[in-house]
Structure 1
Amino acid sequence: MKLNRRSLLFAGGGIAAAATLAACGTNNPLSSGSPAPSSSAGTATSGGSASTITLQQWYHEYGEAGVKEAVERYASEYTAATVDVKWTPGDYGTILAAELLTSPPDVFEVEQGGSLDMIRSGQLADLTDLIGDRVSEFNPAVMDRFTFEGKIHGIPQTIDMQLLYYRPSLLEAAGVKPPTTFDELAAAAAAVKTADVGGFFAGNDGGIGVLGTILIWASGHDQLTEDRSAVAFLTDDFYAALTSYRDFLNSGAVLPAASAEWYDGAPFVNGETAMQWGGLWSLPDIKAAWGDDVAVLPFPAIGAKGRPAVPFGAFGACVAADGKNVDAAKEFVKWLWIDQEDKQVDFSNSYGTHIPAKPALVAKADKLSEGPGKDAAQFVADSGFANDIMWSGALGIAFGTALSNVIKGGADPASEFAAFEATATAELAKLQG
């Protein structure tokens, strides 16, 4: 399976990262050893005439057919400058990081609109004034994640998200309603489970990789405090959520292993499970298999203070602060990702299934105009969450270890997460600078 948008977007959560990147398999271009593409930034400055300006725009290598041709077509239609699209195979993040230190591309995409390191080191141009009052046109949950210390450094391109698939006919036959709470989910999974069909599936690790941080949000917590000096979820409610999921995993209602991982719709398509946690990207295959007998839900609220939750990811178009054509690059980003709404719909709708970053455009994406697709887009607007910009890889790994020890190893949550809290406090102090 080739690298695709969500392989990068959902790879920041520690234990979930390994599961998500495994989707790429042995054909993953990130492990191909391909050399970095050569830089060919234009020699004109941002004050030069349009005919003398060449902008270099970078994308990672998308797995969906047609994306490369589409972005090249968008670039060719821009008349204020020549835009040279660079398709970047290999380890995009590593290649980009190196290039930003030497000869940065003018425009490039970055997960969630820019990393903490990029922002702190001044590598990203401030695009706050560029988007201006048009920020209200974009999904508010996405823009909240794209904003750091009051500034915006990336313009969202499209949105990916995760959600719960189920077959209404199976729930109806079992006499249960679509679950709106975690207790209802556990009861529904037990009711629809048969000798041949699992009740619920979220990965061959029992779901702890992909659902770990979701349990934070669904139990009513945020990852970090408002000032980002400490974690914000180490409460009895969170510990109860962990033990509730542990009990669910041990109940027999969770399918322990399937023909593919959570990010592949095959277990649901093949009828191995009645409910599956997966990605919006699987919707076309799932609808092809089950037609109208498909519906979707967010992860349900868990505990008395819980709330529905869906994780999302979005690439953002960024401008190099030290680029040779900063002003011209900003104008191009504005043209493509703020003004050209027909291209924004095409980018989200024609190559896989994704959600336009502007809610007003969702109805124009035919895959999202009705049914499960329409519901999924609304879930992001109502219940979308993303890893905090300071939820670092070290934090994710420490969290994943504690989570596994509790859910798989049976450890006491409070005791296990005391060690995590000490690690998190030290890591956040370091990240505060």
Structure 2
Amino acid sequence: MSALSNNNWDRRTVLRAALGLTAAGTLAACGSNTGRGGGSGNGLVQYFHAYGEAGTEQAIKRYAKAYKKANVTTQWITGSNFESKLFAALLTDQAPDLFEFHPQYQLIESGQVADLTDIVAPVKDDFNQADIASHTVDGKIYGVRMIDDPQFFFYRKSMLEKAGVQPPTTLEELVEAAAKLTTSKVKGVFLGNDLHAVIQPMIYAAGADTLNDKNEIAYHTDGVVEGLKQMRKLFTSGDLLLDAPADFWDPSALNQGLCAIQWCGMWAMPQFQQALGDDLGIMPFPKVGDAGKPAVYNGGWSMFVNAKSKNVDAAKEYVKWLWIDQKEYQEDWALSYGFHIPPRTSIAQSAEKLKSGLPAEGVKLFNEFGHFDRIGWTQAMITATEDVFANSVRKDGDPEAALDACDKKVNAELKKLFG
């Protein structure tokens, strides 16, 4: 259940782009092809994006069928149009009663998602507290986390051993390792085709953050500037795999021997292990600069109730039944179709598949170095940091100047959101 399906694009980014469009009121409504929305009587409609792992659609429909209090219909949105269908549908009477997405301040501010504090509060101590924090605004909890998706560097042990390379502990060492690992047939490192997947991990590894607790800029630091310079060095070195057949979320670059080290998510760990067996290692994003420390970026998906639905109470009851009460289904969803960390501490601790080997190592890295999205960090802000990478990593622009330009855009957004 990667954050992305079988398409060569970053679904998380596009989802947020769609949200930005919706917030600006520029996303057109999309007619009746969104399915039976705004369910009447005892019918509910839920929207899911098409996960890449086999069996996921059948699982979600199987859970829904087991629910006896309402007829729950699942719209399984394939291709690259989940976000446009979802956010267009939310503007119409075809809107789903519940849907998966990521916590976003705009959804709360616009009154689009229902307050779920009453169903989450009794069990909130059993959730990863960072997940609770990332869904909380003014003491109210919006959304129930379904899966946590930590991201790491995966590497071929044999390739590192042959080149006499230890797993890098600093970004500088990663750049040096990439050079030693590159041959006529293999590139040292793969960071994804557009490099966007490593922007936030690099910020965290520099000891910085996107925003601070007061919703002020926290990414413009000396460590981040140093990180951008190192990334520029790596980008121009010839040791970075660019234009791979599939993007970072797909394990094929490492599995097919196109690179020695690849950035990817824990969701792909079973596929990596199937292809590479014991020749597979993982490590966090290495520390950047003196103030830095290793970082693991956590993605994931959450369930929200449409506050404008005619069936808010029934939808909340179903969310409580499935994502709070049915621990067996929650573990199945997290661990039967790919590897994810269950947000419920009790499930994560008892899950046999996470207790040994590489999965256990992944959990340890996640617990020690994990970073979660800030609820106020919007798509416009993400795009602004992507511009920083475009101007100072892909092009030879001054990192400080690029960050100054980014600051202006981010501050304008923060003013819109928080005054």
Residue 122 of structure 1: SS of its match in structure 2?
coil
Aligned-pair CA distance for 1:399: 2.0
Seen in structure 2, the aligned counterparts of structure 1 residues 88 and 37 have a Cα distance that, compared at 3 Å, is farther
| Residue 99 of structure 1, aligned match among 60, 83, 89 | 89
For 2:393, the aligned partner's letter is I
Task: Give the ranges of 4+ consecutive aligned residues of structure 1 lying more than 6 Å apart after TM superposition.
Answer: none
Asked if the contact 2:38–2:96 (Cα under 8 Å) also holds between the matched residues in 1, the reply is no
Seen in structure 2, the aligned counterparts of structure 1 residues 100 and 252 have a Cα distance that, compared at 3 Å, is closer
Aligned-pair CA distance for 1:313: 2.0
| Residue 246 of structure 2, aligned match among 247, 251, 260 | 260
5 Å-filtered alignment, 1:396-407, equals 396-407=382-393
Asked if the contact 1:106–1:329 (Cα under 8 Å) also holds between the matched residues in 2, the reply is no
Seen in structure 2, the aligned counterparts of structure 1 residues 414 and 349 have a Cα distance that, compared at 3 Å, is same
Aligned-pair CA distance for 1:312: 2.1
Residue 194 of structure 1: SS of its match in structure 2?
coil
| Residue 282 of structure 2, aligned match among 296, 305, 314 | 296
Match of residue 9 from structure 1? 12
Aligned-pair CA distance for 1:257: 4.7
5 Å-filtered alignment, 1:276-425, equals 276-362=262-348, 365=351, 367-425=353-411
Match of residue 196 from structure 1? 185
Mark the runs of 5 or more structure 1 residues left unpaired by the alignment.
Answer: 18-31, 44-52
CA distance in 2, matches of 1:203, 1:7: 10
Alpha-carbon displacement from aligned partner over 1:94-149 (angstroms, at most 9, x marks no partner): 33334334437574223224x32221122221112211142222223322222233
CA distance in 2, matches of 1:125, 1:351: 29
Per mean C-alpha deviation after superposition, the further-off stretch among 419-428 and 386-395 is: 386-395
Match of residue 150 from structure 1? 139
Mark the runs of 5 or more structure 2 residues left unpaired by the alignment.
Answer: 21-29
CA distance in 2, matches of 1:427, 1:10: 17
Residue 423 of structure 1: SS of its match in structure 2?
helix
Asked if the contact 2:287–2:294 (Cα under 8 Å) also holds between the matched residues in 1, the reply is yes
Aligned: 1:124 with 2:127: no
| Residue 127 of structure 2, aligned match among 127, 130, 138 | 138
| Residue 214 of structure 2, aligned match among 218, 227, 246 | 227
| Residue 231 of structure 2, aligned match among 231, 238, 245 | 245
Percent of pairs with identical residues: 37
- The two structures have a TM-score, normalised by structure 1, of 0.83
Residue 112 of structure 2: SS of its match in structure 1?
coil
Residue 237 of structure 1: SS of its match in structure 2?
helix
Residue 35 of structure 1: SS of its match in structure 2?
helix
| Residue 36 of structure 2, aligned match among 38, 58, 61 | 38
Asked if the contact 1:344–1:356 (Cα under 8 Å) also holds between the matched residues in 2, the reply is yes
| Residue 212 of structure 1, aligned match among 189, 199, 207 | 199
Aligned-pair CA distance for 1:166: 0.9
CA distance in 1, matches of 2:358, 2:13: 21
Asked if the contact 1:198–1:272 (Cα under 8 Å) also holds between the matched residues in 2, the reply is yes
| Residue 72 of structure 2, aligned match among 83, 88, 99 | 83
Residue 186 of structure 2: SS of its match in structure 1?
coil
Match of residue 158 from structure 2? 169
Aligned: 1:432 with 2:418: yes
CA distance in 2, matches of 1:336, 1:78: 8
Seen in structure 2, the aligned counterparts of structure 1 residues 121 and 40 have a Cα distance that, compared at 3 Å, is closer
CA distance in 1, matches of 2:258, 2:157: 16
Per mean C-alpha deviation after superposition, the further-off stretch among 62-71 and 286-295 is: 62-71
Aligned-pair CA distance for 1:13: 7.6
CA distance in 2, matches of 1:361, 1:184: 37
Seen in structure 2, the aligned counterparts of structure 1 residues 180 and 148 have a Cα distance that, compared at 3 Å, is farther
Residue 131 of structure 1: SS of its match in structure 2?
helix
Alpha-carbon displacement from aligned partner over 1:232-271 (angstroms, at most 9, x marks no partner): 1212222111112222333343334544332222221111
| Residue 179 of structure 1, aligned match among 135, 156, 168 | 168
Alpha-carbon displacement from aligned partner over 1:349-377 (angstroms, at most 9, x marks no partner): 22233322224323655553432222223
